[in-house]
Amino acid sequence: MATLMDRVRAYMRSPKGRQTIESAERMARDPRNQHKARRLLDRFRSRRH
């Protein structure tokens, strides 16, 4: 039986997985999304203290 990581690796090598990676990379380059991610991380960091 394949482990979860093996399944993830197989998916990421598939055409659909590559398409997902490209889409995520495009979204990560968007300054608005970067700002949203920073705000979210700041909220998590402030809750720990």
Q: Where are the domains positioned within the chain?
A: 24-49
The whole-model pTM stands at 0.65
Rounded CA-CA distance 4/26 in Å is 26
> Quick check: 40 pLDDT over 80?
yes
Helices (H) and strands (E) in the chain, counts: 3, 0
In this prediction, residue 28 carries a pLDDT of 95
- Tokens representing residue 42 in the block: 């700041």
Mean pLDDT of 3-31: 97
Mean pLDDT of 2-15: 95
> Quick check: 49 pLDDT over 70?
no
